[in-house]
Structure 1
Amino acid sequence: MQGEQLHWWQTRWFVALCALLAIVPLLKPEIPPLVDLPGHMGRYRVQLSLDQYPWLKDWYDFRWQLIGNLGIDLLIEPLAPVFGLELAVKLIVISIPAMIVTGLLWIAREVHGRIPATALFALPIAYSFPLHFGFINFALSMGFALNLFALWLRLARQGRIGLRAAIFLPVSCALWVCHTFGWGVLGVLAFSAEMIRQHDIRKDRQSGHWFESWVRAGLGCLPLALPMVLMVLWRSGEHVSGQTADYFNWQGKMAWLTMILRDRWQAFDIACAAILFLILFRGFRDPRIEYSRNLGLSALFLLAVFILLPRIVFGSAYADMRLAPFMVAIAVIAIRPRAGMSLRGAALLALAGFSFFAVRMAATTTSFWLYDRAYQRNLAALDHVPEGARLVSFVGESCHTQWTMSRLEHLPAMALVRRVAYSNDQWSMAGAQLLTTRYRPAGGFQHDPSELVTAVRCPREWWRPINRALARFPRDAFDYVWLIEPPRYDPKLTAGLTELWRDGTSVLYRVEHDRPGPQISDEELRLPHRPWKNFGI
Structure 2
Amino acid sequence: MNVPAPLTAEDFVARGTRSDRLVATVVFALLAVGSLLPTLLVPIPAMGDYVNHLARMYLLSEMGATDANPYYEAAWAFYPNLAMDLVVPRMARLFGTETATRLFLLVSQILIVGGALALEWVVKRRVHLAGFAALMLLYCLPLSWGFINFECGLGIALCGIAAYLAVGDQPAPVRFGVNAAFVVLLFASHLFALGVYGATLGLHELWRAFDRKCPARDVALRFLTLAAPAVASLVIMRLTAGSVGSEGTFWSLDHKLLWPFFIMNGYSMAVSGASAIVLMAALYVAARCSMLKLAPAGIWIATGFALLYLALPPRLFDTAFADIRVLPAVALILPAFCSLSLPGRRWTMAALVIVGGITLANLGLVLDVWLSYRLEYSAVIESFEHVDRGSRILIGTSAEGEDPPFQDLTRFPVYYAPTLAVHYANAFVSNLFTETGKQPIQVRAELRRLAVPNGGPVPIRLLRAIAEGRTTEPEETAAVRTWYRDYDYLYLVGPATANPLPDLLEELDGSGRFVLYKIRHTSRACD
Q: Could you tell me the TM-score, scaled by structure 1's length?
A: 0.80
Q: Are the structure 2 counterparts of residues 63 and 5 from structure 1 closer, same or farther at C-alpha, using a change threshold of 3 Å?
A: same
Q: What SS class does the counterpart of residue 127 from structure 1 fall into?
A: coil
How far off its partner does 1:260 sit? 0.9
**Partner letter of residue 188 of structure 2?**
V
Q: Are the structure 2 counterparts of residues 31 and 224 from structure 1 closer, same or farther at C-alpha, using a change threshold of 3 Å?
A: farther
2:424 equivalent in structure 1 = 418
> Hey, what's the Cα distance between the residues in 2 that align with 1:13 and 1:6?
11
> Hey, what's the Cα distance between the residues in 1 that align with 2:448 and 2:248?
29
**Do the aligned partners of 1:262 and 1:403 also contact (CA within 8 Å) in 2?**
no
2:400 equivalent in structure 1 = 398
How far off its partner does 1:151 sit? 2.6
**Do the aligned partners of 2:484 and 2:519 also contact (CA within 8 Å) in 1?**
no
Q: Deviations over 1:435-472 (max 9, x none)?
A: 222364685x4334676233535xxxxx8769669994
**Can you give the 5+ residue segments of structure 2 that lack an aligned partner in the other structure?**
1-13, 469-478
How far off its partner does 1:143 sit? 1.2
Q: Aligned ranges for residues 284-323 of structure 1 at < 5 Å? A: 284-323=287-326
Cα-Cα RMSD: 3.5
**Partner letter of residue 429 of structure 1?**
E
**Do the aligned partners of 1:118 and 1:349 also contact (CA within 8 Å) in 2?**
no
1:454 aligns with 2:459: yes
> Hey, what's the Cα distance between the residues in 1 that align with 2:457 and 2:240?
31
> Hey, what's the Cα distance between the residues in 2 that align with 1:237 and 1:162?
28
**Do the aligned partners of 2:72 and 2:444 also contact (CA within 8 Å) in 1?**
yes
**Do the aligned partners of 2:80 and 2:191 also contact (CA within 8 Å) in 1?**
yes
How far off its partner does 1:176 sit? 1.1
**Do the aligned partners of 2:77 and 2:241 also contact (CA within 8 Å) in 1?**
no
Q: What SS class does the counterpart of residue 115 from structure 1 fall into?
A: coil
> Hey, what's the Cα distance between the residues in 1 that align with 2:352 and 2:369?
26
1:494 equivalent in structure 2 = 504
1:184 aligns with 2:195: yes
> Hey, what's the Cα distance between the residues in 1 that align with 2:165 and 2:523?
66
> Hey, what's the Cα distance between the residues in 2 that align with 1:48 and 1:336?
47
> Hey, what's the Cα distance between the residues in 2 that align with 1:402 and 1:289?
34
Q: Deviations over 1:390-448 (max 9, x none)?
A: 333333332255243222221121111333221111234322322222364685x4334
How far off its partner does 1:239 sit? 7.5
**Do the aligned partners of 1:15 and 1:102 also contact (CA within 8 Å) in 2?**
no
- Between stretches 62-71 and 42-51, larger displacement belongs to 42-51
Q: What SS class does the counterpart of residue 274 from structure 1 fall into?
A: helix
**Partner letter of residue 326 of structure 2?**
L
2:55 equivalent in structure 1 = 42
1:527 equivalent in structure 2 = none
Q: Aligned ranges for residues 369-380 of structure 1 at < 5 Å? A: 369-380=371-382
2:255 equivalent in structure 1 = 252
Q: Are the structure 2 counterparts of residues 42 and 465 from structure 1 closer, same or farther at C-alpha, using a change threshold of 3 Å?
A: farther
Q: Are the structure 2 counterparts of residues 410 and 156 from structure 1 closer, same or farther at C-alpha, using a change threshold of 3 Å?
A: same
**Do the aligned partners of 1:428 and 1:447 also contact (CA within 8 Å) in 2?**
no
Pick aligned residue for 2:383 from 381, 384, 404: 381
1:22 equivalent in structure 2 = 35
Q: How many residues align?
A: 496
2:65 equivalent in structure 1 = 52
> Hey, what's the Cα distance between the residues in 1 that align with 2:335 and 2:400?
35
> Hey, what's the Cα distance between the residues in 1 that align with 2:466 and 2:380?
18
> Hey, what's the Cα distance between the residues in 1 that align with 2:346 and 2:264?
30
> Hey, what's the Cα distance between the residues in 2 that align with 1:26 and 1:449?
26
1:84 equivalent in structure 2 = 96
Pick aligned residue for 2:340 from 330, 337, 341: 337
> Hey, what's the Cα distance between the residues in 2 that align with 1:223 and 1:80?
35
Q: What SS class does the counterpart of residue 116 from structure 1 fall into?
A: coil
1:531 equivalent in structure 2 = none
1:94 equivalent in structure 2 = 106
- Between stretches 314-323 and 72-81, larger displacement belongs to 314-323
2:7 equivalent in structure 1 = none
How far off its partner does 1:109 sit? 3.1
Q: What SS class does the counterpart of residue 253 from structure 1 fall into?
A: coil
**Do the aligned partners of 2:432 and 2:455 also contact (CA within 8 Å) in 1?**
no
> Hey, what's the Cα distance between the residues in 1 that align with 2:220 and 2:290?
32
1:61 equivalent in structure 2 = 73
**Partner letter of residue 67 of structure 1?**
Y
**Do the aligned partners of 2:279 and 2:354 also contact (CA within 8 Å) in 1?**
no
Q: What SS class does the counterpart of residue 166 from structure 1 fall into?
A: helix
Pick aligned residue for 2:275 from 251, 272, 275: 272
1:228 equivalent in structure 2 = 231
1:131 aligns with 2:131: no
Q: Deviations over 1:315-353 (max 9, x none)?
A: 222211211222234345543224x73355345424532
Q: What SS class does the counterpart of residue 461 from structure 2 fall into?
A: coil
**Do the aligned partners of 1:108 and 1:115 also contact (CA within 8 Å) in 2?**
yes
> Hey, what's the Cα distance between the residues in 1 that align with 2:129 and 2:317?
40
**Can you give the 5+ residue segments of structure 1 that lack an aligned partner in the other structure?**
203-207, 458-462, 522-537
> Hey, what's the Cα distance between the residues in 2 that align with 1:10 and 1:146?
26
Q: What SS class does the counterpart of residue 503 from structure 2 fall into?
A: helix
1:525 equivalent in structure 2 = none
Q: Are the structure 2 counterparts of residues 227 and 464 from structure 1 closer, same or farther at C-alpha, using a change threshold of 3 Å?
A: farther
